[in-house]
Amino acid sequence: MKADFTKNLIKWDQAANSREMPWKGEKDPYKIWLSEIILQQTRVEQGLGYYHRFIKAFPTIQKLAAATDQEVFKLWEGLGYYTRCKNLLTTARYISKELKGVFPDNYEKILSLKGIGPYTAAAISSFAYQLPHAVVDGNVFRVLSRYFGISTPIDGTEGKKLYTLLANEVLDKKMPGIYNQAIMDFGAVICKPQQPLCHQCPQKKDCMAFRNNWIQQLPVKEKQLIKKKRWLNYFLVETKDEILAHRRNEKDIWENLYEFVLHESKEALLAEKKSMEKVIQQLLGKNKFTVTAISSARKQQLTHQTIEGLFIHVIINRKLVVKGQYEWVKKEQLSAYPFPRFITAYLQEIAHKA
């Protein structure tokens, strides 16, 4: 059964797999690594443009390592999960400086790099160096769970060990790179999470889920994702041609991105005007201010958090002397700073209205 699975998968890949991506068949470990980091928690359709822009701006790992944090985070802007970008820079600089710009060609050494887990290490080592390590991601979990009829939860310790072992058993050791790409493509275009194309599937004769009508029940997850709710009130404190901003440095969402003056609350400050004015006074001290505009409520869904909030435009008569993390930024230079999508979407909206 395992041998048939592998054989049929390779046949499908050679005869019917029309999924195209610019990094398929790529042998440069830098470009493979970059594509895999971009695609972590990101759909291919969204990541494609970012990949092209990164390769154009930083064609080699040395170019990436030499770039400033602000340049790289600005290019990453909108992709989310910014820890990936931070780790990307850390690893690029480590390889450039400590390894003389040479990407490791050993699975364990690749795995030891910042921001690289077993899946990414397997992808790089098999695609670039044809090393026999199976990739195990959501697509692979789903395909193996359905085909072999496994109900062990994919998000538990036992399940991860079981699926990793099975993935390496069915791996085509002679051409691991081709096999790994094939099983990921198969999960993306045939054995999809919802409405899989079972009628087109070359594996359906032996697929336990298809034979037993378990398609919608597999794979199994045991953990329910609990989402935190947060309300962010952003104050756009402005003078004639400048605005207050700072870079987020705490271990939280949007680390290393810029934002405006923030007051986080349990609910919207608009519920009570006095509450909003009190917050502004706490932020600005004795400076006179005028609230010129208040946005409608905004919402952004992150994987583990629901972000809601609004933007309050505040004009002050006298420019504040700022210390520490805050800085005055020329309004025409805002576009050079990396902001989270929650903010950039609003800035784009008001720019179109101007």
Residues designated as active site? 36
Coil/strand/helix, residue 244 = strand
| Beta-carbon contacts of residue 224 (< 8 Å; ≥ 6 apart) | none
Q: How far apart are CA 315 and CA 132, in angstroms?
A: 61
Q: How far apart are CA 288 and CA 194, in angstroms?
A: 56
Q: How many CB atoms lie within 10 A of CB 344?
A: 17
Q: How many CB atoms lie within 10 A of CB 101?
A: 14
Identify any residues that bridge with 184 across adjacent strands, giving them in sequence order.
none
| Beta-carbon contacts of residue 309 (< 8 Å; ≥ 6 apart) | 230, 231, 232, 233, 234, 297, 298, 342
Contact 61, 95 (CB under 8 A): yes
Residue 330's φ and ψ, nearest 5 degrees, are -60, 135
